[in-house]
Structure 1
Amino acid sequence: MSDPAPATGTGPSEFAPWKDPDAQPLIQFRNVTKRFGDFTAIDDLTVDIYAREFFALLGPSGCGKTTLMRMLGGFETPTEGTILLDGQDIGPVPPNRRAVNMMFQSYALFPHLTVRENIAFGLKRDKLPKDRIDARVEEMLRLVQLQKFASRKPHQISGGQRQRVALARSLAKAPKLLLLDEPLGALDKKLRTETQFELMEIQEKTGTTFVIVTHDQEEAMTVASRIAVMDHGRMVQVDTPDRIYETPNTTYVADFIGDVNLIEGNAAAHHEDGKVEIHWREGEPPIVGTPMGEVPDGTRCTFAIRPEKVAISKDHPEGSSNIVHGKVLDIAYLGNMSTYHVELPTGVIIKAQLANNRRIARRNITWEDEVWLSWTETAGVVLTG
């Protein structure tokens, strides 16, 4: 078994083969299009996925993520283009001949077989010697920490344990690639969060490349080394979770991932330091922002800023380029933080978040309060797409 490599991180141990021009991808999509009659599910897609990655396909229903996964699994064939696995065109290779396994949301366990027998099923079909099957099953039981439940049937264990059985069965044949289709969708929120970290740990231990389909942004942000945000059969942005969140390349990505304030306006009055002014409402001061690229004067653009980067105060702040005044319209109490919906005199609503590091009775901002919102020139991003 390969030594584990961290899926994310910083410093010398950072796992980022996509930054290495000499790294060879495990999976290569080359101008892949998939049509169903007149409907284009995947539209001229080209992307590389590397060995040992935990790669997430994220997007709303109908965006093409499941079709992409089914093509990798061999259940659909591209209308145009090529899919390579380890340099081999897998288009003509049937599903049972690919070094690929798939784990479904339903888990698809055999109810009449024990946990041990479920894990051993694929190995027995391959007619491996009994001692090798037994050794591999024991290894998988240890990996998913189910040794004590090996003799139980699926109905005798919890949903989270069934999920781990399905994962162990999928990994038993040591595939180069494991496809996970909404694997945690049937679990409650707390168990889903716990299982996400278990999945990451197992993926690191085995060194298997995981590709996960999910519509849960938080899940993708937690587990993935990179995320592909999809829309209408295209990958709008492929990047690490922190860059997807902090530097989205389009308004669609900014709006799809997490909570965000989106303010439209016209770019003008460029500063020498590269900053740009956005004129967005008559009677409101222009927003000073930092564009990621050149934004010509007069360009219609969108300023995107996350609520946690907006400061809220009852007193006029000093030393900030971006200051607006408004009234607290609503407060969403989320336990660890509160989101304040502040209405400006122009009717625009801006959200600001504060960590709840004080008891509720000691917080000094409430409904109908007049407040000031402020943020720095680099707190948001200026988007033209």
Structure 2
Amino acid sequence: MGEKVFAPWTDPNETPLIQFKNVTKRFGEFTAIDNQTFDIYEREFFALLGPSGCGKTTMMRMLAGFEAPSEGTILLGGQDIAPIPPNKRAVNMMFQSYALFPHLSIWENIAFGLKRDGLPKEQIAARVEEMLKLTRLEKFARRKPHQCSGGQRQRVALARSLAKAPKLLLLDEPLGALDAKLRQDTQFELMDIQEKTGTTFVIVTHDQEEAMTVASRVAVMDHGKIIQADTPARIYEMPGSVYVADFIGDVNIIEGRATPAGDGYDIAFAEGEPALHAKSDKKLQAGSTAYLAIRPEKVRISTERPDDLPNVVRGKILDIAYLGNLSTYHVRLPNGQIIKSQTANTRRLSNRPFTWEDEVWLGWTDTAAVLLEG
């Protein structure tokens, strides 16, 4: 027997920790959140992902209690949180700026909320030690924030946010201030800490890679609405719309006219080009506009025409991006469309068979492309 997969959202008997019910938030004439209903479960690492101004921060501020919904209700553990002031909620928020007290030591920073709650001294000391250990900061307890690196300050803010054992921790762009290498390390640290504490984390980010790395589910937002909330794998492999496909990772989008054929549809996309075929159980009107979303790593590039692939197009290499372990070829088709193909460079010195201006064949299987409606 394998390990039980964590997927409470698939179990109808699970009660969500957080329930948004028809929540709308307006600022004057502007609708920031547009009639949203969704659930977040206990122990989830839930990411709100989207471009600036899509409503993700407003969503988080309503959970924290800094904003109240204009319409609808938000339940936490089955209780309407609207009447509960921010400091009385079992919710804590970690800000992008970390907002540490510069004059207090790391130990005092972590103890601050516990002292304010009037807990007994021994209990505070035990909890602070526990938090220092969890965030690997034992050696830095006596330092002041300015004597710590960015990554350490980030962990202090996390330790302070978790000290009061909130049911829910909100993280607003928590890794925004860190450099790329540190961000990556910290992502795994965050996941580890979330797992150990069992606290529900909701993270706001515009960094798709971050969301896809840390989250159990990602909610992709646009104009105040969640367009799709799903596991990172499903969002990547089975996007529900062109917006989601385009927002996550690199993708080729081919627009064409759909005609039902066999186990899916033929897509006519350019004069003089053969139709492309995609397996799909979607119901589309014959002749309607449809889109094929194909990830570059699923497009095979070759100098000879491949006989074993149902979808084959010919083009000329316009550009090559060499990323060490990967090469991405930008190939222009006769109709001017650019298709990207990505190959792994497995050999140390890849004797690249392709170069600029080469005529090449691109091919993919009939399940490689996701068929999306116009």
TM-score range, shorter chain: over 0.9
User: Which of the numbers 89, 93, 99 marks the counterpart of 1:98?
Assistant: 89
Partner of 1:133: 124
2:113 maps to what in 1? 122
Distance verdict in 2 for CA 1:11–1:238, change over 3 Å:
farther
Match of 2:343 in 1: 354
The residue type paired with residue 320 of structure 1 is L
Tell me whether 1:27 sits opposite 2:18 in the alignment: yes
TM-score w.r.t. length of structure 2: 0.99
SS at match of 2:261: coil
After superposition, give the CA deviation of every residue in 1:11-45 in whole Å (9 maximum; x if it has no partner): 44200000000000000000000000000000000
Report the Cα distance in structure 2 between the residues aligned to 1:292 and 1:37, rounded to whole angstroms.
Answer: 43
CA contact (8 A) 1:30 1:81 kept: yes
Moved more, 66-75 or 278-287: 278-287
User: What's the CA shift for 1:95?
Assistant: 0.2
Is 1:194 matched with 2:185?
yes
| In the alignment, structure 1 residue 218 sits paired with structure 2 residue 206 | no
The answer on whether the counterparts of 1:57 and 1:211 sit within 8 Å (CA) in structure 2 is yes
The one-letter code matched in structure 2 to 1:49 is I
- Report 1:72-111 matches (<5 A): 72-111=63-102
Q: 1:11 to 1:235 in 2, by over 3 A?
A: farther
The match for 2:172 is 181
1:269 Cα deviation from its structure 2 partner: 3.8
- Of 322, 326, 334, 1:337 maps to 326
Mapped to 1, the partners of 2:349 and 2:335 lie a distance apart of 30
Q: Is the 8 A contact 1:58 1:217 kept in 2?
A: yes
1-structure distance, mates of 2:222, 2:281: 22
1:284 matched to 2:273? The reply is: yes
Output the CA distance in 2 between the equivalents of 1:269 and 1:118: 63
Indicate if the aligned counterparts of 1:291 and 1:383 stay in contact, CA closer than 8 A.
no
Superposition deviation, residue 319 in structure 1: 1.6
Q: CA RMSD in A?
A: 1.0
Aligned to 1:3: none
Unpaired segments ≥5 residues, structure 2: none
Partner residue, 2:282: 293
Contact 2:264 2:281 (C-alpha < 8 Å) held by counterparts: no
SS in 2 for 1:268: strand
Say if 1:292 and 1:381, in contact at 8 Å, map to a contact too: no
Look up the SS of the partner of 1:362 in the other structure. coil
CA spacing shift, 1:383–1:11, aligned 2, 3 Å: farther
* Residue of 52, 61, 64 corresponding to 1:61: 52
Select 2:103's aligned residue among 80, 105, 112. Answer: 112
In 2: Cα distance, 1:16 partner to 1:138 partner: 32
- What is the match of residue 4 of structure 1? none
For residues 155 and 256 of structure 1, the distance between their equivalents in structure 2, rounded to whole angstroms, comes to 37
Residue correspondences, number? 374
In structure 2, distance between residues paired with 1:92 and 1:25:
20
Cα shift readout 1:236-266 (whole Å, capped 9, x = no counterpart): 0010000000000000000000000000001
Q: What's 2:315 paired with?
A: 326
Report the CA distance between 1:360 and its aligned residue. 4.3
Q: Percent identity?
A: 71
Q: Secondary structure at the match of 1:319?
A: coil
C-alpha distance in 2 between matches for 1:377 and 1:254: 18
Distance 2:39 2:95 in 1: 23
Choose from 188, 206, 209 the match for 2:197.
206
Q: Which runs of no fewer than 5 residues in structure 1 stay unpaired?
A: 1-9
Supply the AA of the counterpart residue of 1:81: G
Residues 314, 371 of structure 1: 8 Å contact kept: yes
2:278 aligned partner, one-letter code: G
Amino acid aligned to 2:131: M
The runs of at least 4 consecutive aligned structure 1 residues that moved more than 2 Å come to: 358-361
Deviations 1:165-193 (A, max 9, x none): 00000000000000000000000000000
By how many angstroms is 1:78 displaced? Answer: 0.2
User: For structure 1, which segment, 239-248 or 312-321, has the greater mean C-alpha deviation from structure 2 after superposition?
Assistant: 312-321
Report if the CA contact (8 A) 1:29-1:84 is conserved. yes
Separation (CA, whole Å) in 1 of partners of 2:371 and 2:238: 9
- Secondary structure at the aligned position of 1:277 is classed as strand
Q: Distance in 2 between matches of 1:368 and 1:281?
A: 21
Give the Å deviation of 1:94: 0.6
Give me the TM-score of the superposition, normalised by structure 1: 0.96
Whether the 8 Å CA contact 1:114–1:151 is kept in 2: the answer is yes
Match of 1:246 in 2: 237
1:275 aligned onto 2:264 = yes
Shift of 1:366: 1.1
Separation in 2, partners of 1:139, 1:269: 61
**1:259 aligns to what?**
250
How many Å separate the matches in 2 of 1:203 and 1:292? 38
Contact in 2 for aligned 1:329/1:367 (Cα 8 Å) = yes
Distance 1:269 1:173 in 2: 58
Who is 1:7 aligned against? none
Contact 1:292 1:382 in 2 (8 A): no
Shift of 1:292: 4.7
Contact 2:62 2:68 survives alignment (8 Å): yes
Query: 310-319 or 177-186, which moves further after superposition?
Result: 310-319
Checking the alignment, whether the CA contact within 8 Å between 1:342 and 1:349 is kept in structure 2 is yes
